[in-house]
Amino acid sequence: MGTSGYSYKEWKGSFYPEKLPDREMLSFYAGQFKTVEINHSFYRMPTENLLLQWAKTVPEGFRFALKANQQITHIKRLRGCQDVLKRFLEVASVLNDGDHLGPILVQLPPNFKFDQSLLEDFLALRPPAFAFAFEVRHPSWYTEETYAVLRRHGVALCLAETEKETPLEVLTADFTYVRLRRENYTAKQLAAWSKRFGEWLGKGVNVYAYCKHEDAGKAPAYAHALLGG
């Protein structure tokens, strides 16, 4: 359980101590949560040095979920992206030391329609050592055909909740990936999610869940509530 990103100066005073130096944000965050979703890797290809620097800052077992680079998902749109994907995963693999690598979030554009053969071809490129979660945002993906392909490859369907969308509770792997994207959550809504997480964990399904960043610093509070804190 964690948040989407951590390096937000707006959170100083609500989550981070008011005068905490920026360079100490990650270590403070890692003292509160066990995972974080990294969006930086979508906009810019990460480097080994950057990831190793992060890894040195957090305790063993703290995991980074990296969003796949936009070259893979939005520019090449999963086609002919073998070299870019290979490079991305090579960089990500440095996090394996210390058990720091979480799932790779493959987020597709909203106008990307279901293409079974393309999905099969892309997932065939995934080395077994890497866990993938697929976030699809076009209605054409929400079919049994999609779920069957993901299950065959052991890839999780990302369950993303927004102000307009309530995700289907579809499990396609031995873990699930949840993105809680609403601006505001009530105690009742958080309790309902916490109950689901407990049920999935009871079935042996690992849960990665991330609350949306917003300037008011509510995401860490929501994450704490989901952890029962």
Q: List the pLDDT tens digit at each of the 229 positions of the chain.
A: 999 999 999 999 999 999 999 999 999 999 999 999 999 999 999 999 999 999 999 999 999 999 999 999 999 999 999 999 999 999 999 999 999 999 999 999 999 999 999 999 999 999 999 999 999 999 999 999 999 999 999 999 999 999 888 898 999 999 999 999 998 999 999 999 999 999 999 999 999 999 998 877 899 999 999 998 5
Q: What is the pLDDT of residue 215?
A: 77
The residues facing 175 across adjacent strands are: 206
Q: 47 CB contacts (<8 Å, ≥6 apart)?
A: 91
∠ Cα 55 56 57 (to 5°): 90
Q: Distance between terminal CA atoms of the chain?
A: 12
Q: 3-class DSSP state for residue 38?
A: strand
| Region of 125 on the Ramachandran plot (φ > 0 left; ψ -120 to 50 alpha; else beta) | alpha
Q: Tell me the domain boundaries of the chain.
A: 2-226
Q: What is the pLDDT of residue 229?
A: 55
Domain 2-226 maps to which CATH number in 3.40.50.1100, 3.40.50.1000, 3.20.20.410, 3.40.462.20?
A: 3.20.20.410
Q: d(Cα 199, Cα 84) in Å, to the nearest integer?
A: 37
- Burial class from Cβ neighbours inside 10 Å (0-12, 13-18, 19+) for residue 39 reads middle
The count of residues in the chain is 229
